[in-house]
Chains A and B, each alone.
Chain A
Amino acid sequence: DTAVSQTPKYLVTQMGNDKSIKCEQNLGHDTMYWYKQDSKKFLKIMFSYNNKELIINETVPNRFSPKSPDKAHLNLHINSLELGDSAVYFCASSLRGRAEAFFGQGTRLTVV
C-alpha cells in the first residue's frame, strides 16, 4: 500500500556505468518529480512531469534522462555515472497545481 515507491533503495556502482531508478505512485496524482539530496541534506528539484510531459527541467547534466511511460511512473536513467552523482534521489508526486508533494523513501546512489 506504499504511496510512492522507488527501486532500488540502495545502488552501488562504478564510475562510467549507466543505471536506472524506477518510481511508481498509486495516489492518482498526475505530476511526478525527481529531487536530489546531497550529503549535507540539501534537497533540490531536478525534473517534474505532468501527464508524461516534462514541465520542470532544472540545470541538470544531460547524462540524466527522466522517462515517464504513464502518469503513475517516472523513471530516472543516468549515463556515465560520476563520483559527484553520489546522493540520495527522491521521487515525489502531487496533483497538478498543488505544490504539496508526497515523497518516496529515496534511492541512495553510491558511485565508486
Chain B
Amino acid sequence: GESVGLHLPTLSVQEGDNSIINCAYSNSASDYFIWYKQESGKGPQFIIDIRSNMDKRQGQRVTVLLNKTVKHLSLQIAATQPGDSAVYFCAENGNFGNEKLTFGTGTRLTIIP
C-alpha cells in the first residue's frame, strides 16, 4: 500500500547551520509532493512543493530534492534560525488532480542557539 515515511523522527541543528530532513515514499505513482511545517499549537503550513517531472526546486532558504529512482525526497533549510524549530511533514499526492494528500510521520527539528 502507499505510505510516506521519514528516516529520522528528531533532528537537532545548531543555529546558522543547514538542516536536511529526509522522506521516503512507496507509491511509485506519486507525482506531486509537498513539505509542510507545523509549529506548536498551529496547523501545517505549506513550505514548498515539487512535481515528479522535476528533481530540484528552490525557495527562500529552502530546497527540495526529489529522487524518483529510490523514491526519496529531502528538504534542505539553509542557515537555520530559531523560528525554523517545528515538525516537518512530507506529503504526497498519488494522482495529481485528486486532492488527497498522504502525510509522512513527521520530523521534529530543534534549532540549538
Contacts and interface: CB of A to CB of B under 8 A. Distances in A.
Interface of A: 4, 31, 33, 40-45, 48, 55-56, 90, 92, 94, 96-106
Given A41-B106, A42-B105, A99 B32 contact: yes
B99 A31 contact: yes
Interface in B57-113: 87, 89, 91, 93, 96-103, 105-106
B100 to A, nearest CB: 6
Task: Report the contact-size class of chain B (Cβ under 8 Å from the partner).
Answer: 20 to 34
Given A43-B44, A45-B101, A90-B43, A100 B49 contact: yes
A74 B103 CA distance: 21
10 contacts: A40-B105, A41-B38, A41-B106, A42-B105, A48-B100, A99-B96, A101-B46, A101-B101, A102-B46, A103-B43
B63 to A, nearest CB: 18
B43 A99 contact: no
Interface of B: 32, 34, 36, 38, 41-46, 49, 87, 89, 91, 93, 96-103, 105-106
Given A40-B105, A45-B100, A99 B44 contact: no
A42 B99 CA distance: 18
A103 B45 contact: yes
Contacts of B43: 4, 90, 92, 103-106
Q: List the 5 shortest-distance A-B pairs measured between CB atoms, nearest first.
A: A103-B43, A99-B93, A43-B103, A41-B106, A103-B44
B75 to A, nearest CB: 16
B44 A98 contact: no
A103 B46 CA distance: 9
Contacts of B41: 105-106
Contacts of B49: 100
Nearest to B93: A99
A106 B87 CA distance: 15
Contacts of A43: 44, 89, 91, 103, 106
A5 to B, nearest CB: 10
